[in-house]
Amino acid sequence: MLTLAAPFISSDFGPRPAGFVIAVRVVAALFTVFLIEFISIGKNWARITYLVLTVLALPAPFMAARQGISISNVEVASIAVQLLAHGVGLYLLFTVPGKSWFAPSAR
């Protein structure tokens, strides 16, 4: 989900100041931790929000590649691992037994 912060980090007017980039990344990471915490206590809205934000973030690496932004092989591998981890996490959240954690009758 940190890829959703990318538009705030770069622009057509050049790179942003390092402090701003770090602040945006920290806020995005804290929001991710916030969502994961509420998912862990069984809040369904957090699970749905995590799904929506992950789906919104999926096109970002492909759009960057399409625009000709060159990235290293390490970055490509990192993005692939991140997408795989998000996919596995979402699969576990929306299938049994993880799905039953969010069922109203299970509480």
pLDDT digits (tens, 9 = 90+) for 41-59: 989 999 999 999 888 888 8
Q: What's the pLDDT at 56?
A: 87
Contacts of 102 (CB under 8 A, 6+ apart): 42, 44, 47, 93
Q: What angle do CA 8, 71, 76 make, to 5 degrees?
A: 100
> pLDDT band at 30, cuts 50/70/90?
very high
DSSP designation for 2: G
* Straight-line distance from the first to the last Cα atom of the chain, in angstroms, rounded to the nearest whole number: 29
Average pLDDT value for residue range 78-103: 87
Distance CA 77, CA 83 (A): 10
Which three-class secondary structure state does DSSP give residue 99? Answer: helix
DSSP 95: S
**Residue 95 φ/ψ region, left for φ over 0, alpha for ψ in the -120 to 50 degree band, beta for the rest:** beta
**pLDDT at 75 (0 to 100):** 78
